[in-house]
Chain A
Amino acid sequence: MSIEVRNVSKNFGTFAALTDVSLTVATGELVALLGPSGSGKTTLLRIIAGMEDPDSGSVLLEGEDATTQRIQQRKVGFVFQHYALFRHMTVFDNIAFGLNVRPRGLRPSKEEIRDRVMRLLRLVQLDRMADRRPAQLSGGQRQRVALARALAVEPKVLLLDEPFGALDAKVRKELRRWLRRLHDEIHVTSVFVTHDQEEALEVADRVVVMNEGRIEQVGTSEDVYHHPANPFVYNFLGDVNLFHGRVENGQPYLHPGAEGEGHALVFVRPHLLDIQHEPSGEHSFKARVTHINPAGPVVKVELISEWGQPVQVNLTQERYRELRLQKDASVYVIPRELKAFIE
């Protein structure tokens, strides 16, 4: 089922949580709402679910206006950051809940419910945990139960609010890959909220970058990462060095220019900077090495530029060995690719 959000605004007191937000999600798509906390992403998700009413604007599900529909009628599955499982019920009863509360005429038979719950338990790989209570499960297991519970009612739309936010880093990675595979299997239209750019870029078909109650950019991972629409998006997606440079004749320069002349924000990602012992080209600048972290797939080198700005450079292990870098060494930094936004 497709989702369409039209010109939605929402205020909490004097705080504008959403300002004139419009968004379309196609049937079967997996979309991430990405943004810092307070950017309005959770509010948008809750408005789609019907847990919050927009001050203005409308929400359409499958082309039909759902703005006045209550949450019970919208047929959405919702997964909470802190699981919100029913702690007095077993895993089985949690998943069966949505089916058990249906009016008698629409309720599947006991056997059907049993079959469906067991099928879902296998899907989330928890078939041996049916009789446990939520308190006896790990965080990752609880979130999978919550997902199975949401899927049990066969929702037209699946909404996930920071589904992996409360989990530790390793489980989070496993679970998000698993979510991607699951989505490829069942193709339910899904929207998930996250503040983790890596998670959004890795899992989603399309990423919606939000900031201060507005949508900054909508696009595929490739789009938003390589063709950011504005400084915010570039800054938010991945590590970045920010230079208060200038633009002359359409050419960006990292060095700060004279007052008021073609002033521009120039961004360079750490892996697009190189270090050499000699100056090369008009963009290179002198810098002093302040810290080296050689652990991990890339070597992270921190430097101070000749005009006193901290700069981060990521080198490959081979390049690092080749350069034989030392702390406090004087070197030259050469950008391979610049991205400038004129102020």
Chain B
Amino acid sequence: MKTRGQKRILPGFGLTMGFTLVYLSLIVLIPLSTLFLKASSLSLREIGDIIMTSRSLAAYRLSFGASFAAAGINAVFGLIVAWVLVRYKFWGKALLDGLVDLPFALPTAVAGISLTTLYSEKGWLGGVLAEVGIKAAYTRLGIVIALTFIGLPFVVRTLQPVIREIDPEVEEASAGLGARRWQTFLYVIFPNLLPALLTGFALAFARALGEYGSVVFISGNMPNKTEIVPLLIMTKFEEYDYAGATAIAASMLVLSFLLLLTINLLQWWSRRHHAVA
């Protein structure tokens, strides 16, 4: 907002901007920069060697793949949950609404242990799955399950206010013009939800990338198979390989940042193309 010569309603742009920069520096930028400082003691070649090992590459693939899958699952089912919670009145709605936030509050280790118990071959769900030949715990599927669990609130909470804002008359107008239900959803409702859905997806995705606590219990942690990047970093630490740990951490940071930036750009684009009044 360029406001030279124009009166601002709230004063103090200089002050608040200064505060924002200091705050972000202290909380985000300075801790991250030490990471890069540490990593800079390695040459690019050394970093490359650490990253390009088959074990690291497998971990990257798994982390990004499982996080993407989990965020995708959350985008679909989170949308349904948010829709039901906003649009329908039913007994126990407040309770259900509160349940959505639980993955935020629950210590991730607790989530990991309960999910593992539940999905192991002797668990309630794992037993059923085992009968049809699906192994959940200690596999990649288990990782996706854990990541889906912790990412759900992000999609639901970003979508709820947007769904609440959609005027039911618009749906009636669409139906009145002869649109079938799926057409009303696809052409009338969905474009209005897309920016918020992308935000929710990005948040769930980012959260899943960084998740450690719940995954270590359910994944089984087998190198090359079910080892995620955060765990690989921890392993390097425990082996006193600080350089290796920072190299992987820094590369992970750059990759995540690029991905989130892309999603944000996408979101900005969709907001422009479906200009919201």
Q: Which A residues have a C-beta under 8 Å from some C-beta of B?
A: 49, 51, 70-72, 76-78, 80, 82, 84-88, 97-98, 101-102, 133-135, 146, 149-150, 152-153
Contact = CB atoms under 8 A, between A and B. Distances in A.
10 nearest interchain CB pairs? A135-B277, A98-B177, A88-B274, A84-B169, A84-B173, A101-B179, A78-B176, A88-B191, A101-B183, A71-B175
Given A101-B187, A133-B277, A135-B275, A84 B177 contact: no
Nearest to A70: B175
B277 A76 contact: no
Interface of B: 167, 169-170, 172-180, 183, 187-188, 191-192, 274-277
Nearest to B274: A88
Contacts, number: 71
Contacts of A150: 176-177
B176 A87 contact: no
Contacts of A101: 174, 177-180, 183, 187
A216 to B, nearest CB: 28
B187 A71 contact: no
Given A88-B276, A98-B178, 4 more contacts: A82-B167, A85-B173, A86-B187, A101-B177
B276 A49 contact: no
A245 B54 CA distance: 102
B201 to A, nearest CB: 19
Contacts of A80: 169, 172-173
B169 A72 contact: no
Given A51-B172, A84-B167, A84-B169, A72 B277 contact: no
A19 B167 CA distance: 29
Given A71-B175, A97-B177, A86 B275 contact: no
A76 B167 contact: no
Given A82-B169, A88-B192, A77 B277 contact: no
B180 to A, nearest CB: 7
Nearest to B191: A88
A149 B169 CA distance: 14
A85 to B, nearest CB: 8
A98 B175 CA distance: 9
Contacts of A102: 178
A49 B275 CA distance: 30
Nearest to B177: A98
A70 B177 CA distance: 12
Nearest to A103: B180
Contacts of B174: 86, 97, 101
Contacts of A84: 167, 169-170, 172-173
Contact of B176 (A76, A88, A133, A134): A76
Given A80-B169, A84-B169, A97-B187, A72 B275 contact: no
